[in-house]
Amino acid sequence: MRFRNLKKTQNKTLQKPKYIYAKYTSRIKAFITDMFMIYAPILYVTAYIIMDGKDDFQASQLAPFLSTAIYGLIYALLLSKFGQTPGKKAYELKVVDSKNGEYVGFFRALVRFVAFLFTAATLLGLLLPLYRKDKKALHDILANTLVVIEKK
């Protein structure tokens, strides 16, 4: 092999990674921020304005489902429009397509949210980022998305 060819192959291996993956702790902080900024107000409005109080809310099977569905729609809308929710924006994170780095569409963001609900129920999928280089959780694998640090 000629030195010129060897030099070209070495330069290819020294290229920077395409994405800087978000830390797992930043993702958790962003999730908690979203719970307080988006989900808690939805629950408050549902329990105290739409229904007659927390007792009626807890007795209802439909109210928690509708609150979660509204949160999922808002979450998917924010991800498809801006690539981030308020919590992700606070920690400078973005959710992007893992192939082309663009924002995900509304339907895929909604699928990612539903997959997150099932992933959170098992807890196994939430621990997956601790063992992967690309820090993907199970819902990221199913939706083919990445959570990356926002480039400025």
47-71 per-position pLDDT tens digit: 999 998 889 999 999 999 999 999 9
In the predicted model, is pLDDT for residue 75 greater than 70?
Answer: yes
pLDDT at site 16: 46
| Three-class SS state of 64 | helix
pLDDT at site 150: 85
Tokens 């329990």 found at: 47
In the predicted model, is pLDDT for residue 9 greater than 60?
Answer: no
pTM listed for this prediction:
0.83
**What backbone phi and psi angles, to 5 degrees, belong to 123?**
65, -20
- Residue 112 in contact with residue 143, Cβ under 8 Å? yes
pLDDT at site 46: 93
pLDDT at site 122: 84
- Residue 63 in contact with residue 51, Cβ under 8 Å? yes
- Identify the CA nearest to 31 among candidates 78, 91, 74: 91
pLDDT at site 70: 96
Q: What contacts 34, CB < 8 A, 6 or more positions away?
A: 75, 85, 86, 87, 88
